[in-house]
Amino acid sequence: MPELPEVETTRRGIAPHLIGQRVSRVIVRERRLRWPIPEDLDVRLSGQRIEAVERRAKYLLIKAEAGTLISHLGMSGNLRLVEAGLPAAKHEHVDIELESGLALRYTDPRRFGALLWSELPLEHELLARLGPEPLTELFDGERLYRLSRGKAVAVKPFIMDNAVVVGVGNIYATEALFAAGIDPRRAAGTVSRARYVRLAGEIKRVLAHAIERGGTTLRDFIGGDGQPGYFQQELFAYGRGGQFCKVCGSTLREVKLGQRASVYCPKCQR
């Protein structure tokens, strides 16, 4: 599933081509996504000028004059720019054609993503109860420490809870915990304030670096410019169970936490 850096990479790739452009028409070939695409999306969006392209957690917010298109890429979706009128292949479900002659094309083989319309996007049920963005001052180690007190849940699923902080998915939680030297199995309530300060800093660093590197290429992720990400080449723990630790040489171990694979170093992380 595309995570926050992949979604931010997509946003940065498509935004310069969308902002200020007017939508000429919307072509919907398949409405059956995770939630059905609104029947009147073409009527609502056609003729509208796009004013901003923003991100909230893993949702892209394409803001027009009269409302906002909320997009989620699901398990395997992507948004990329193509020439308007380019014949669509299988799984290329939606084209948002612009007066510039380009079209924003939504592709989703598994159809687990979303394209929804809202006049008040931040009040939409999918966004209203989300925690702070990890790369803002609203998120820090003190918040992690305060919310973790008394919690027996393992620290990894704790930092992946969108009510705690958004966008820290499996890849980046694994990498941040490795960098902070924290065993992902440790009960969240037993981690000290000082270690949470370090962990928050590593979450920010890992996510910012992944965005700079264009995200992580896993399965079929493609950014808004059609190019893959390169952060996968720099992973220390995620997906490396049974391999050697790049820091100490120990064998990395893999366990299941919250039904997700978690890799850690038994020597570097405690």
Annotated binding site for DNA: 91, 110, 151
- Residue whose pair of structure tokens reads 């990329």 in the numeric block: 80
CB of 56 within 8 A of CB of 124? Answer: no
Q: Kindly report the CA angle at 184 between 149 and 72, in degrees rounded to 5?
A: 90
Q: Which tokens belong to 233? A: 């080449």
Q: DSSP of 171-210, one letter per residue?
A: HHHHHHHHHHT--TTSBGGGS-HHHHHHHHHHHHHHHHHH
Beta carbons within 8 Å of 19's beta carbon, 6+ residues apart = 50, 51, 52, 53
Report the binding-site residues.
Answer: 91, 110, 151
Q: Which tokens belong to 99? A: 């007066």
Q: What is the CA radius of gyration of the chain?
A: 20
Residue 168 identity (one-letter amino acid): V
Annotated catalytic residues are: 2-3, 58, 260
CA distance 68 to 90: 27
